Structures are given as C-alpha cells and as structure tokens.
Chains A and B, each alone.
Chain A
Amino acid sequence: MNIKKMNRGLDFLREKYISPERSEPRKRSLEGCAAKGEITLKDGHCWVGATPLIPGRMERKIVELKKMTENGTLEGVSTLRFASFAPKGSDIEAMLAKELDLAAYLGASDVVRVMAVANGNAVNVLAKLANDVNVSVEIGAALPRGEAPYDRHEIIAKRGVACDQTVDTHTPHASIRCWNGGGAVEYTDVDTELFGLSYEEIWNVRAAFALLQKRADAKVWKAAWAKAVKAAKLAFAADKAKAAKTIALKKGLDTNRAIKVAEVR
C-alpha cells in the first residue's frame, strides 16, 4: 500500500465534500465536518490515530450485502459462507480477522464460538454467532506472488441467497480482460474519485474518510476490530487444542450496526 498516495486521496475527499457553509438540504446530507487526521500503517494494518480502519465494511459489495440483510431483501439469515485467498506470504490470521469481522457485521451479531483446522498457509474455520447463525470461512495464502487476492461472501437466508460472486462461477468476474502479446490481464476499477489507487488502498481511504466525518464511530471500530482479532487468535488456539473456543458476549456497544455510506456517493 502506498500511504502517501492514500493520504492524498483522503485530502481530496476532505476538500471536496466538507464545507462549513452549506444550504439546508446539504447540511442534512453530510453530518459533521471531517477532522484532521491521516492514515498510518502499523503491522500491515491501516490506522487513523489510535483507531484501526475496517476497510472491509466500506467495500461497496459489502455495503450492498449489508443493505440486503437490513432492508428486507433477505429474511431469516441462517448461514454465512465466506472465503478469502491471497498470495503466498500473506498473514492468514489477519485475513481471518477481516472475515470474522465481516461475519459479525453482515450477520449482525458477535462471534461467540470458533473452531478451526489449520495446515500451514491454509485454515478452515467454523464459527457461531450469538444469534445462532453459522459461519464458515476458507482461508488460503497459496496464490502465486503478485496475483490479486480474491474472496467470496455468501449469505444464505430463509428468503433469498445473496453473494458477491455470480451464480455458476467460482472465481470473481473482472470488469475488463485484455489479451495481448503479454498474455491476459484483468482490471476491476471501482471508484472514479480514487481512480489509480489499488482496491485495498481505495477502501482504506474510504474508511478513513468515514471515520473523519464521524459517520463511522471510532469507539465502534476499535471494539469491533479488537473482537475480530481476538476471535481469529482463538481460532488458531482451537486448532491446536482440537476443541472449539467460546467467546463471552459483551453487552453494551453494538459494534455491528451499519454506517451511513450512501451519503458519500
């Protein structure tokens, strides 16, 4: 990730969308003004100040899936089937933390039990949410170096199945596939305002912007990410112990509520 470029993107959004003088309708549209702050990288994760970013929650596909769980498109969620695959050398515990956070977010309930079977750079996980939803997560870090990572998020409900991969495929569709003397290259661009940044960079910038606008609550993200990291760690402990690990449910702050994203768009 190119942090300098990402902070330039963040400055661009801050400059474009935040104005102290606005007429009434727009005052309602964007709440608050963006505080100062910049993205930093610590141990491979992006932060703004002391708050970890949760870029996965900002990805448009996740935003749309979250909407479907809340607006009645899906009814009675039963099971989440997630997968994430990345190039060799990727941190599979961090990958799992991201997926378990998304499971809690899309399932609208915290992870309370986790069991895993790991083998080198791969791990299979079964988790349970407090609302009884089942979660399976496949993680692998065996793609050749330089390949783009890919993932899958499928929500199975009493009414409807939703997924970020289309039916009858097992790898993601790309927007453009170009063949020439150099072979085949795929491109998927998702953000015009941040065109030129990588997929990972874009969602970290969007996450930082949401946080600075206070659409995302720093307290919520700190707590949510701490839960996800803990659940991922316990998954590996469960593998070693060959026994599922339980996680006590914390009462109080709801860390899985949707943030206002449409306002940016």
Chain B
Amino acid sequence: MKPVKIAMMGMTHGHTRKYYQTLLDNKKLDWVASCAQDEDAKKTYELYQTGVPCYLDPDEMYKNHPDIEAVVIASANDQHFAQMKWCAEKGIHILSMKIPTFDMKEYDEMIAMCDKAGIVCQIELEMHYNAVVQRLKKLVKDGAIGKIKAIQMTNITLSPVWAFPWQGDPKASFGSVKRLKKGDDRFMGGALCDHPHIFDLIRHLTGSDFDYIYAEVAPNLRDGLKVEDMLMAIGRMKDGTSFLFDPSWSRLEEKIKVPGPGWERFPKRMEVNVTITGEKGMLTCDCFGPNVYHNGAPNDRYTVQYTYFDEWIGLIDEFVDCIRNRKTPLINLKWHKQTIQSMLGCYESINTGKIAKVG
C-alpha cells in the first residue's frame, strides 16, 4: 500500500506531541510537513526534533508539498472550521481534534463540505484504541454483566491551560464568549470542552442515545481562570441507563509552558475510570492503569508514570485504513454530533438550572 502523505497543522493542541512517534513509525504514512499556528508553536515543535519541516503559512506548506493527502488538525477549537475548509477545498483528508466545533451551524457546514469533497474526516477520540477500553467494550458486548443499568465515568485531568492557553480562552475553546449562568463571572469553554470521551463512550457501551442531562458547576480550583474547571453531570440515556459523569480538571498542576516531568501535583495527571452496574453483575475499570510509580525528580512527589501509549497508534491505523479503503471512521462527524450536543446540553443545564433534552 502506498504510504499516505500526511501533514500536521496548528501544533497548539495539547495532543500534538503525542502524534510524533506514530507518524514517524507507521510505514503506512509519510509525514512530510507541519505548519505551526505561530512562532511560539513552531519553537515548541522544534524542541522535539522530528526532522519534519515546519512552516508558518499553510499555503506555503502546500506549495512545497502539493502531494499532501491528509492533515492532522492539531489546533485550538476556534481554528478548526477554517482549517477544515482549507483541507476540503483541496480534497485533503482530515483527522480533527476531539471538538470540531460547538457551533452547530458550523458543524453542519463541516459535514456538508466534507461530504461534498468526498474526504475522510475522522475525529480524534483515541480512547477507543486503548487496550483496556477494547476489553471493556468486549465484556459489555459479550454480556458479562448483562444489560447496563447505570454508569459512572470520570475523565479527570490536570488543566492544560498554562501550556496551551487557548484552553482557558472562552472564544478559542468554546468558539464564542458565553457566560456560564446569570451571576457567574465565568464563561463556557473549560474542563468540559477538554473531556468528550465519556460522552462518546457511553453511546458505544449502551448502544443508546442521550435522552436528557443535568449538570452543575462547582467553585473553581484555579484562581483567575475565566472558564469552568469543576463540574459534574447526571442524566439518562434513551434505553433508561442512568449516568454520572465527572469531566473536571480536578487534578492540580505546575504552571509549566511545555508539558513534561513534574507537570502534575496530584500523583496521577489523567484518569478515565468507569463503573458499570448491569442486570447480571458489575465492573470497575481503570483505563490507564496499572502503571509504575515513583517519588523522584524533578519534584520528589509521588507520581504515576504511565505505561499506556497505544491510543495514537490505533487511531492513525484507522485513519489510514479509511483513506486507502474508502471506509467511514468509527468517530466521524455525523456520529460525533450527538456527543457534542450532549456536552452543549451540560452548558444549557448549567445555564438554566434545569435538565436539558439532547438532540
């Protein structure tokens, strides 16, 4: 199979660096270029010494690499629409970060332009390629606990805002500046926007759609943050499944500019945990564990050192398979729309104090 000529754009998303290894290793890909949003993003990119040229102007990149077939859009959420349009106009396949946009009019336009261009647009929800999630889905599918009655899921992390400031900027993260609720001085665009996985995973596990959702924000842990960092949501799926989600930035961090050792203050910087009660039994699941643990440098604090890295490998494999074999990605724009709507439902519920119907 001819390797897919691939590029990266933006380079300001928190997941950007996680692609480097697999883009270099996967023989089905030929990573030919990168294009950074600005000088700062370019400087950070260059720290990783990938050997792949980096541009600041996408048109210049395209002029020098007209054979680019696919792009990983690794940018702030408010840049996605324009970058997708740029790709669609050139017939370039897209791997988008996890929030294409929260503006549903824009979202529908994204679907239309990708359909018109006949390109693959895969959304990055890398948890599906985690070995533990594979086992979890298999157990549920095989009926190990019977029909699901209730699910609790956490997608809790430190906050990336100090390294990736756009994630604390309501316009860049949410797409527009909207107050969380009357009398609250914070805006939509914080922790919720960083954590779509659990809103997606429940749909795969139950095979059902969202019915309604109710959410509450708590006081922020971080002073000066314009967006929410602590919230919880509960609700019901159309098949009756009750759920409780925690998509908070509840793990504090050091305010470092480039992610690296010592970023976390709480020992584990990211947790995706699932508890499911079914008609025949129950299960608990830690999607990122077990690992190894230490209290060494740089901060001499007890720290979890991860041993799980497979997500990006499987994600890219699927993307290439979809491009070369004309397949539809598991997480495509149309599928993902309800996941985004359920997250918007959280904001609506926070704003109104009532349940929000989804879809």
Given A29-B24, A161-B295, A162-B294, A176-B132 contact (CB < 8 Å): yes
Tally inter-chain residue pairs, CB-CB below 8 A.
167
| Cβ contact within 8 Å between A160 and B293 | no
The residue from B27, B283, B300, B306 contacting A16, defined by CB atoms under 8 A apart: B27
Q: Which residue of B lies closest to A28 (CB)?
A: B51
Bin the interface of chain B by size. Answer: 35 or more
Contact of A73 among B24, B51, B296 (CB under 8 A): B296
Contact with B along A169-183 (1 / 0, CB 8 A): 000111111111100
The smallest beta-carbon distance between B141 and chain A, in angstroms, is: 13
- The verdict on B302 contacting chain A, using a C-beta distance below 8 Å, is yes
Interface status of A30 (Cβ within 8 A of chain B):
yes
Q: When A23-B30, A167-B302, A263-B25 are in contact, do A162 and B296 touch as well, CB less than 8 Å?
A: yes
CA distance A262 to B357 in the complex (A): 45
Residues of A within 8 A of B (CB-CB), count: 54
Report yes or no: B307 in contact with A60, Cβ–Cβ below 8 A: yes
Contact of A179 among B261, B282, B307, B310 (CB under 8 A): B282
Would you give the 0/1 interface string for B305-346, flagging 1 where the beta carbon is closer than 8 Å to chain A?
111111101100000000000000000000000000000000
Contact (Cβ within 8 A) B50 A159 = no
Cβ contact within 8 Å between A180 and B145: yes
Given contacts A173-B289, A195-B131, A179 and B24 within 8 Å (CB-CB): no
A64 at interface by CB-CB < 8 Å: yes
A25 lies within 8 A of B314 (CB): no
Q: B303 — nearest CB in chain A belongs to which residue?
A: A73
Q: Which residues of B contact A181 (CB under 8 A)?
A: 280-281
Closest to A163 in B: B293
Q: Bound state CA distance, A176 and B294, in angstroms? A: 23
User: What residues of chain B lie closer than 8 Å to A73, measured between beta carbons?
Assistant: 261, 294, 296-297, 305
Q: In the bound complex, what is the Cα–Cα distance between A165 and B307 (angstroms)? A: 13
For A94, list chain B residues within 8 Å (CB): none
Give min CB distance, B132 to chain A, whole Å.
Answer: 4
A180–B144 CB distance below 8 A = yes
**Bound: A164/B26 CA distance, A:** 29
In this assembly, does A244 line the interface, its C-beta being within 8 Å of a C-beta of chain B? Answer: no
Say whether B307 contacts A160, CB under 8 Å.
Answer: no
**A189–B289 touching, CB < 8 Å:** no
Known A-B contacts A176-B139, A192-B310; A160 and B296 likewise in contact (beta carbons under 8 Å)? yes
With a 10 A CB-CB cut-off, give which of B51, B144, B290 has the most chain A CB atoms: B290
Q: Which of A29, A68, A72, A165 contacts B305 (CB under 8 A)? A: A68
| Cβ-closest chain A residue relative to B129 | A192
Confirm or deny: A1 has a beta carbon within 8 angstroms of a beta carbon on chain B. no
Taking a contact as CB atoms under 8 Å apart, the answer to whether A175 and B310 are in contact is no
The answer on a CB contact under 8 Å between B310 and A178 is no
Chain B residues near A160: list those with CB within 8 A.
294-297, 300
Q: How far is the CA of A159 from the CA of B282 in the complex (A)?
A: 41
Check if B135 sits within 8 Å of A189, measured CB to CB: yes
6 A-B interface contacts by CB (under 8 A): A64-B291, A159-B300, A176-B286, A178-B282, A192-B130, A192-B131
17 further A-B contacts with Cβ under 8 Å, apart from A160-B297, A161-B294, A192-B310, are A19-B3, A26-B24, A26-B27, A29-B24, A30-B25, A73-B261, A75-B296, A161-B295, A163-B292, A164-B290, A167-B302, A175-B287, A176-B284, A178-B139, A189-B135, A192-B314, A195-B134
Q: Which 6 A-B pairs have the closest CB atoms?
A: A160-B296, A180-B281, A19-B27, A162-B294, A189-B131, A192-B310
